[in-house]
Copies of this chain bind each other. A is one copy, B any other.
Amino acid sequence: MTKIEKPPIVILARPQMGENIGASARAMKNCGLSDLRLVAPRDGWPNPAAEPMAASGKDIIQNAKVFDTLADACSDIDLLLATSARPRDLAKAVISPRDGAHKILEHHQMSETGQAAFLFGAERTGLDNDELATADMIIQADLNPDGSSLNLAQAVMMMAWEWRAAMLDAVPQAKTVSTDFARDLASISDKEFFFNRLETLLDEKGFFTSPEMAPVVKRNLRTFFTRGQPSVQELRTLQGVLTVLSRAPK
Contacts and interface: CB of A to CB of B under 8 A. Distances in A.
Interface of A: 23, 26-27, 29-32, 55-57, 90-98, 140-151, 153-154, 157-158, 161, 164-165, 168, 175-181, 183, 198, 201-202, 204-207, 217, 220-221, 224-225, 227-231, 233-234, 237-238, 240-242, 244-250
A244 B147 contact: no
Given A29-B147, A144-B32, A228 B237 contact: no
5 contacts: A154-B157, A158-B161, A202-B245, A224-B228, A245-B246
Contacts of A229: 227
B147 A206 contact: no
Instruction: Count the copies.
Output: 2
A20 to B, nearest CB: 11
B221 A147 contact: no
